[in-house]
Amino acid sequence: MVRLINCLICLIFYLALRIFKPNIKTCSILCKEIETFDDKTKTRYYFKFINKTYSDIENVSINLLLIEDYIHGSGKNFIGKELKLKRYDFKNIPGKRRKNKEIHNNCVQMLIDEDLEKLWDGRKEYLELQIDCTHSKSGRRLVHVQKYTDVKNTIKNGRFDSGENFNII
């Protein structure tokens, strides 16, 4: 009887850990917006992600890397350069249960603080977005990775629409 109870407790714990984990969706498109300030134009690039978890996610850190591959000897190697973002980390991003339906605070648009089209030609490089976060209830950690490999089909003119979508306006 004790073994059965222990097995049931282990099964419940296992299922709870499987259910209570971070769930992040990222857009496969980067937005490009040309803004004018005091007769100066500046090109800005954005990416967007959404916390699809029912609970909050915590300790969110974001890295955007430009990774170049090169041949060394008989194998392929990679070298990465971390690109500047306007903000690198968040303490907390609300989940679906606690989100504000007017401002959609479970959705995050990040500004890339570098000129992507000058840095990334797409021949031997790709972009890799890494979002590291922890589930607020279970403590499970997730490193979500999104790769951007095709410059022509990845960067689109416009801006992301507000809300839980990846529409470009």
* pLDDT above 90 (res 105): yes
CATH class assigned to 22-157? mainly beta
Predicted local distance difference test score (pLDDT) of residue 141? 94
Distance CA 117, CA 132 (A): 26
Q: Where are the domains of the chain?
A: 22-157
24 DSSP β-pair partners: 51
* Single pTM value for the model: 0.87
At 4, the amino acid letter reads L
* pLDDT above 90 (res 37): no
Work out the mean pLDDT of the chain and round it to a whole number.
91
Predicted local distance difference test score (pLDDT) of residue 122? 81
At 60, the amino acid letter reads V
Predicted local distance difference test score (pLDDT) of residue 99? 93
pLDDT tens, residue by residue, 42-93: 899 999 999 999 999 999 999 999 999 887 788 888 888 999 998 878 899 9
